[in-house]
Amino acid sequence: MTLFERAEIRALSERLLGLAEGQGIPLTSRAGRELDGFLTDIGGVRPVGRGANRQLTERGRDFLTTRLRETHTEGWSGETVLASLGGHLPSAINGATLSGLWLRDCKAALSQAHLARADELGIRVWGDELIRLRCEGSLSLRWQDGRHYCGDESMTMLGELALPERSLAGLQEIEWQGAQIVTVENKGAFVDLPLLPGMLLIYVPGRNTRLAKQVLPRLPSAVPWAHAGDLDQRGLDIATELARAISRPPALWLPTQVTDYVRHYGKPLTRRLPGEQGGRGKIPWRHNPVASWLDARLAEVFTHLAVDKLWVEQEVMVTAGAWQSWLLDEMPA
């Protein structure tokens, strides 16, 4: 059996091919180290973010696509096996469950062909993630079939409201009378940011903005929105990506004393741990992203970060006494 005929190698290869720009996965398992070494030898993989996460280069993407196609075998069909066992797929199924049944690996990425086949069978495939909300003031959910749910007790007793992904399919509107919507990039900041009167916080974990893009349009369009994230290139990217997706002006939620936080907590984009040959850290600034911003203070902050190759974690700002929404005059490319 060749390397790319092995199920675990094929599954890792498909996961790598399914990654979006800027995403990576660890190749630390026994099979992962084997694949990592193979791809490194041909210049097909590069480190991304912190730790041992890897992302394909263009050469690696072309190579894996070709090898998987060349070594594809038709000898095993999960759909056929399931039918022989008398199993029946439900009309809605978790993606990992379907991967396990059809691909013999619950961590393998379903291809577009697999998803198209599921659609043919009338099966909806779910990621089954949660989106978390915290707010001041009353909040209710209204579904397309007329049902209502008041989230006040959940907010009071649990401190937040968690919406399962499947519940969003029939959600028509989020009824909430407030003054400011803020999406928050990191979990620590989401739970610790002070809830000001009339504020709604929505947890958006890193680049995973898929559920937020479904929830934000269901909120009152007249209420302003801003994004709270790390002060780095990726934080800007998330804010501008969300702004484009929901057709709102791009804005950042930051302390009024943001300049002081940068001065005290700014740290190098790349750091080296004891004994490390190379460095690890954040993605670099692509350019000075704010040359034409009209807000002089915001332009000064991000120019300083970009020029000096620094960034600031959003968690260190959660105890700030005063906050505001800072509009971006243009979206960085």
pLDDT of the residue at 78 = 81
**pLDDT digit string, tens, across residues 239-264:** 999 999 999 999 999 999 999 999 99
Q: How confident is the model at residue 229, as a pLDDT?
A: 95
User: Distance between CA 140 and CA 178 in Å, rounded?
Assistant: 12
Same domain for 153 and 209, yes or no, is: yes
How does pLDDT run across 132-153, given as a tens digit for each residue?
999 988 999 999 999 999 999 9
Beta bridge partners of 148: 142
Q: Given pLDDT bands bounded at 50, 70 and 90, which one contains residue 1?
A: low
* Shared domain check, 208 and 323: yes
Averaged pLDDT, 97-113 = 86
The predicted structure's pLDDT at residue 10 = 79
What percent of the chain clears pLDDT 90, i.e. is strictly above it?
54
**pLDDT for the residue 30:** 83
pLDDT on residue 19: 83
Q: Which domain holds residue 197?
A: 130-272+282-327
Give a yes or no: residue 277 inside a domain.
no
Which of residues 43, 73, 103 is at a domain's end?
A: 73
Q: Considering the domain boundaries, does residue 196 fall inside one?
A: yes
Q: Are residues 92 and 241 in the same domain?
A: no
**Do 161 and 257 sit in the same domain of this protein?**
yes
Please give the mean pLDDT across all residues of the chain.
87
Q: Measure the CA–CA gap between 54 and 27, rounded to whole angstroms.
A: 7
Residue-level pLDDT at 66: 85
Residue 48 has pLDDT above 50, yes or no: yes
- What is the C-alpha to C-alpha distance for residues 64 and 188, in angstroms, rounded to an integer? 37
User: Residue 277 pLDDT > 60, yes or no?
Assistant: no
How many structural domains are present in the chain? 3
* Exposure letters 71-106 (e unless 16+ CB within 10 A, then b): beeeeeeeeeeeeeeeeebeeebbbbebbebbbebe
Q: Is the pLDDT assigned to residue 69 strictly greater than 80?
A: no
The pLDDT confidence band at residue 333, using thresholds 50, 70 and 90, is: very low
Whether 54 shows a pLDDT value over 70: the answer reads yes
Domain boundary among 62, 95, 128: 128
Q: Answer yes or no: do 57 and 155 share one domain.
A: no
Residue 258 within a domain: yes
Q: Given pLDDT bands bounded at 50, 70 and 90, which one contains residue 332? A: very low
Instruction: Tell me the per-residue pLDDT of 283-303, one tens digit each, with 9 for 90 and over.
Output: 888 866 565 577 888 888 999
Same domain, 206 and 298: yes
Contact indicator for 232, 226 with CB cutoff of 8 Å:
no
Domain co-membership, 96 together with 235: no
Find the CATH number of the domain harbouring 307.
Answer: 3.40.1360.10
User: 3-class SS at 271?
Assistant: strand
Asked whether residue 333 is assigned to any structural domain, the reply reads no
Residue 332 lies in a domain: no
Looking at residue 110, its pLDDT comes to 85
Higher-scoring residue by pLDDT: 107, 251: 251
Residues 210 and 241 placed together within one structural domain of the fold: yes
183 and 315 share one domain: yes
Residue 204: predicted pLDDT: 92
The average pLDDT across 116-134 equals 93
- End-to-end, the C-alpha distance of the chain in Å comes to 46
Label residue 160 by pLDDT band (50, 70, 90): very high
Contact status, residue 332 vs residue 238, Cβ threshold 8 Å: no
The token duo for 256 is 């009024």
Q: Are residues 80 and 226 in the same domain?
A: no
> Strand 199-203 to strand 180-184: parallel, antiparallel, or no bridges (unpaired)?
parallel
Residue where one domain finishes, among candidates 73, 89, 108: 73
Higher pLDDT, 51 or 98: 98
Tens digits of per-residue pLDDT, 23-41?
888 888 888 889 999 999 9
170 and 292 both lie in a single domain? yes
Co-location of 310 and 186 in the same domain: yes
Q: Which residues of 147-162 are buried (b: 16+ CB within 10 A; e: fewer)?
A: eeeebeeebeeeeebe
For residue 212, the model assigns a pLDDT of 94
Tell me whether residue 96 is in a domain: yes
> Which neighbouring-strand residues pair with 25?
54
Inform me whether the pLDDT recorded for 278 exceeds 50: no
1 domain-assigned: yes
Q: What average pLDDT does this structure show over 212-224? A: 94
Amino acid at 93: I
pTM: 0.74
